[in-house]
């Protein structure tokens, strides 16, 4: 007979994201209060699982964290236990150490692992599931680029922050008659740029899904000037690129499973544009501010729903699955179907068409 679930372990992996603490809190409260499970949290993602480093999660330890960004469990985006750097005979070699993690779970009596992360972290979750570990995934990323769910938590906080930045850039752009560029995150997806751009009343929105022509952007700046508007606001996704050009890479993080860090397109665009328009052009890179600080109300609610849903899926024995949001309903999907399936902006979709209808230029 299957052992009754007594204890669950949870970890947060990959880049941090507003709402992680709210998921941990929702999961812990429901797991303890509704189902009587014990909960422990592994620290620093999979590294904690490998080193058997964890903290006990109780109603007290998760008290007061709902609104707080970051993660009380800390995170790492480098530790893939199926390809893990270990020292052997004075040399660093990559090895599959996932059995150590499974043993650690057995030793502590952990019956189910809840993994909160993005594509990389969830790939390992799927691989643990294939090894027979009972796993539940929760989708996290400010980029909102996971296909299996309509919304990942963290995204709405990021667009709120980017929108506020655009509001602030408006007043200074107007005072100096400048072109102001805001570079936002999102990797290969343009969701943050598109949605913050609409909400923050940008004149030009640049996204990876629609390569831009610098001349079209200059035309927009000139057209605004002819209308008497002496400033222009541009929001550019870090993954945007010119037609026949390439993305700008900020750095390569060698020991990361996803080593490319994008960044720098805002400054490149400022230089290119200043040569052909009659304005000063300045770029601001919003960077990790999009991931820090307090979690917005939407994400507090979504994260709480995801955390509680993860506890419910354990109770229903729906292992090997990830919680999702479809429309406004919480659902779930097999981890086998969610990995590597990214969701990009549809260049002909309703959101882009809406933006175009109110005169927003996409640089094409
Ligand atoms: O995936 C989330 C994200 O913030 C991306 O938007 C960004 O490209 C990347 O992570 C930045 O990673 P890091 O925190 O390693 O600089």
Residue 132 dihedral angles phi and psi, to the nearest 5°: 100, 0
Residues 6 or more apart whose CB falls under 8 angstroms from that of 201 comprise 166, 170, 233
- Listed in order, strand segments (DSSP E) in 46-96 are 54-57, 84-88, 91-95
Q: Based on the fold, state whether residues 205 and 350 are members of the same structural domain.
A: yes
119 lines ligand 1 (CB under 6 A): no
Q: Based on the fold, state whether residues 94 and 176 are members of the same structural domain.
A: no
Mean pLDDT computed over 268-281:
97
Gap from CA of 212 to ligand 1 centroid (Å)? 23
Look up the CATH number of the domain holding residue 26.
3.40.50.450
Q: Quote the CA–CA distance of 151 and 21 in Å, as a whole number.
A: 17
Q: Based on the fold, state whether residues 59 and 74 are members of the same structural domain.
A: yes
Closest CA to 77 of 16, 20, 130: 16
| pLDDT at res. 288 | 97
Its domain, for residue 241, covers 157-291+346-357
Q: Would the pLDDT of 312 be above 90?
A: yes
Residues 6 or more apart whose CB falls under 8 angstroms from that of 67 comprise 22, 294, 295, 300
Q: Based on the fold, state whether residues 22 and 145 are members of the same structural domain.
A: yes
| 198 assigned to some structural domain | yes
Q: Quote the CA–CA distance of 10 and 128 in Å, as a whole number.
A: 13
- Tell how far CA 231 is from the center of its chain: 31
Q: Based on the fold, state whether residues 18 and 141 are members of the same structural domain.
A: yes
pLDDT digits (tens, 9 = 90+) for 288-298: 999 999 999 99
186 lines ligand 1 (CB under 6 A): yes
pTM of structure = 0.97
Burial 223-237 (b: 16+ CB within 10 A, else e): ebbeeeebbbbbbbb
Look up the CATH number of the domain holding residue 283.
3.40.50.460
| pLDDT at res. 80 | 93
**Which ranges of 40-190 would DSSP assign to H, the alpha helix?**
46-51, 98-108, 119-130, 155-176
Q: Based on the fold, state whether residues 164 and 299 are members of the same structural domain.
A: no
Q: Would the pLDDT of 35 be above 70?
A: yes
Closest CA to 7 of 52, 48, 39, 54: 39
| 334 assigned to some structural domain | no
| pLDDT at res. 254 | 84
Q: Based on the fold, state whether residues 273 and 318 are members of the same structural domain.
A: no
Q: What's the pLDDT band for 319 if we cut at 50, 70, 90?
A: very high
Mean pLDDT computed over 244-253:
95
Q: Based on the fold, state whether residues 12 and 145 are members of the same structural domain.
A: yes
Residues 6 or more apart whose CB falls under 8 angstroms from that of 131 comprise 98, 102
Residues 6 or more apart whose CB falls under 8 angstroms from that of 293 comprise 18, 69, 157, 161
Q: Which atom of ligand 1 is nearest to the CA of 250?
A: 16
Q: Would residue 143 show up in a list of annotated catalytic residues for this protein?
A: yes
Q: Based on the fold, state whether residues 161 and 275 are members of the same structural domain.
A: yes
Q: Based on the fold, state whether residues 110 and 182 are members of the same structural domain.
A: no
| 2 assigned to some structural domain | no
Q: What's the pLDDT band for 258 if we cut at 50, 70, 90?
A: confident
263 lines ligand 1 (CB under 6 A): no
Q: Based on the fold, state whether residues 129 and 242 are members of the same structural domain.
A: no
Gap from CA of 261 to ligand 1 centroid (Å)? 7
């Amino acid at each position: 007979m299957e052992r009754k679930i007594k204890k669950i372990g949870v970890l947060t992996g990959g880049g941090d994201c507003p709402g992680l603490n709210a998921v941990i809190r929702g999961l812990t409260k429901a797991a303890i209060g509704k189902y009587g499970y014990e909960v422990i949290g592994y620290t620093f993602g999979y590294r904690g699982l490998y080193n058997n480093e964890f903290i006990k999660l109780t109603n007290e330890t998760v008290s007061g964290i709902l609104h707080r960004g970051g993660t009380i469990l800390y995170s790492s985006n480098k530790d893939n236990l199926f390809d893990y750097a270990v020292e052997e005979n004075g040399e660093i070699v990559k090895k599959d150490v996932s059995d150590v993690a499974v043993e650690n779970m057995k030793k502590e009596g952990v019956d189910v692992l809840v993994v909160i992360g993005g594509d990389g972290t969830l790939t390992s979750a799927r691989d643990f599931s294939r090894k027979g570990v009972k796993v539940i995934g929760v989708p996290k990323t400010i980029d909102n680029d996971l296909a299996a769910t309509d919304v990942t938590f963290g995204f709405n906080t990021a667009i709120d922050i980017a929108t506020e930045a655009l509001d602030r850039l408006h007043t200074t752009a107007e005072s100096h008659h400048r072109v102001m560029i805001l570079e936002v995150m999102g990797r290969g997806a343009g969701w943050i740029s598109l949605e913050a751009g609409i909400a923050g009343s940008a004149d030009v929105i640049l996204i990876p899904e629609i390569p831009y022509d610098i001349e079209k952007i200059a035309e927009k700046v000139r057209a605004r000037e002819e209308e008497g508007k002496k400033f222009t606001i541009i929001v550019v996704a870090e993954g945007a690129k010119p037609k026949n050009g390439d993305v700008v890479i900020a750095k390569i993080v060698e020991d990361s499973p996803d080593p490319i860090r994008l960044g720098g397109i805002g400054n490149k665009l400022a230089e290119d544009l200043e040569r052909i328009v009659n304005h000063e052009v300045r770029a601001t890179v919003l960077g990790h501010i999009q991931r820090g600080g307090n979690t917005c109300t939407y994400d507090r609610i979504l994260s709480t729903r995801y955390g509680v849903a993860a506890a419910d899926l354990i109770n229903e024995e729906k292992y090997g699955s990830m919680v999702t949001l479809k429309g406004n309903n919480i659902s779930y999907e097999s981890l086998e179907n969610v990995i590597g399936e990214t969701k990009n902006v549809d260049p002909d979709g309703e959101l882009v068409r809406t933006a175009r209808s109110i005169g927003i230029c996409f640089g094409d």
